[in-house]
Chains A and B, each alone.
Chain A
Amino acid sequence: AQSVSQHNHHVILSEAASLELGCNYSYGGTVNLFWYVQYPGQHLQLLLKYFSGDPLVKGIKGFEAEFIKSKFSFNLRKPSVQWSDTAEYFCAVMGSGNTGKLIFGQGTTLQVKP
C-alpha cells in the first residue's frame, strides 16, 4: 500500500534560519507529489507539486522541493524562514489509478520565532 512519512513532527526555528522538512513515500510506480500548507485557522493551500521533468520544483513564497527518485524522497526547503511561515505542512502523494486521491503524511508543525 502507498504511504507517506514525514520525519519531523514539530520544528522550531528562528527567523532567517534555513528549513528542510523530510518526506518519504512508498510507491513503485510513477508518482505525483505535493506539499500543502495550512496556516493557523485557514484551509489547506498548495505550496508546490511535482509531476515530471525537473526534479527541483519551485513553489510559492520561496519554497522549493527536490524529488530524489532513488531515495523515494520529496523534501521541502526554504533558505530563510519568516515568522509568517508558521504553519502545518503536509506532504502528499497521488494514489494509483485515475481518481486523484491523495495520501497524506502525518504533517509537520513549523513554529518560527521572531
Chain B
Amino acid sequence: NAGVTQTPKFRILKIGQSMTLQCTQDMNHNYMYWYRQDPGMGLKLIYYSVGAGITDKGEVPNGYNVSRSTTEDFPLRLELAAPSQTSVYFCASSYSPGQGGFRETQYFGPGTRLLVL
C-alpha cells in the first residue's frame, strides 16, 4: 500500500494562475479531507468528502474547489491563486462503516508546498 499520495511536492504559482493539487489513496477509504497548514496556526480543514460524488466545505473553503468522482481521488483546485494561499496542503483519508459513530484514524499524505508570488 502506498497510502495517501500527493502531487506535486512543491509548486510556485503566479498570482491569478490556477492549478490542481492531486490526492490519491489506495486504502479504499470512503472519507477524504484537504487541510492547509500555516505556521503557528495548525491545520485548517478546507473541504472534505464522505464518499464519491459527495463533498462539503470545511473551515476555510474560499478560493478552492474539489470534486470526488472516484473513491481513490480527491483533487483540490485553485482557480485564481492569491498570496494568501501560500501554504502547505495536506490530504488525508479515513474509513468509517457508517454505524456507531466515527472512530477512525485519519492517514495523511506527505503534503504539497505551494508558494504564490
Contact = CB atoms under 8 A, between A and B. Distances in A.
Interface of A: 4, 6, 9, 32, 34, 36, 42-46, 49, 51, 90, 92, 94, 98-107
Given A102-B45, A104-B42, 17 more contacts: A4-B42, A43-B108, A43-B110, A44-B43, A44-B90, A45-B108, A46-B105, A46-B106, A92-B43, A98-B96, A98-B102, A99-B102, A100-B104, A101-B33, A101-B58, A102-B35, A102-B106
A51 B105 CA distance: 11
B43 A32 contact: no
B41 A32 contact: no
Interface string B91-117: 010101010011111101111000000
Given A43-B109, A43-B110, A44-B90, A98 B101 contact: yes
Interface of B: 4, 31, 33, 35, 40-45, 48, 50, 56, 58, 90, 92, 94, 96, 98, 101-106, 108-111
Contacts of B41: 106
Nearest 9 A/B pairs, CB to CB: A104-B42, A44-B108, A104-B43, A43-B110, A100-B102, A106-B42, A43-B108, A98-B102, A107-B42
A91 to B, nearest CB: 9
Contacts of B102: 32, 94, 98-100
Contacts of A92: 43
23 contacts: A6-B42, A34-B105, A43-B4, A44-B43, A45-B108, A46-B105, A90-B42, A98-B98, A98-B101, A99-B50, A100-B33, A100-B48, A100-B94, A100-B102, A100-B106, A101-B33, A101-B48, A102-B33, A102-B43, A102-B45, A103-B45, A104-B35, A105-B42
A56 B101 CA distance: 22
Given A51-B103, A106-B41, A99 B48 contact: yes
Contact of A49 (B90, B105, B111): B105
A4 B41 CA distance: 11
Contacts of A9: 40
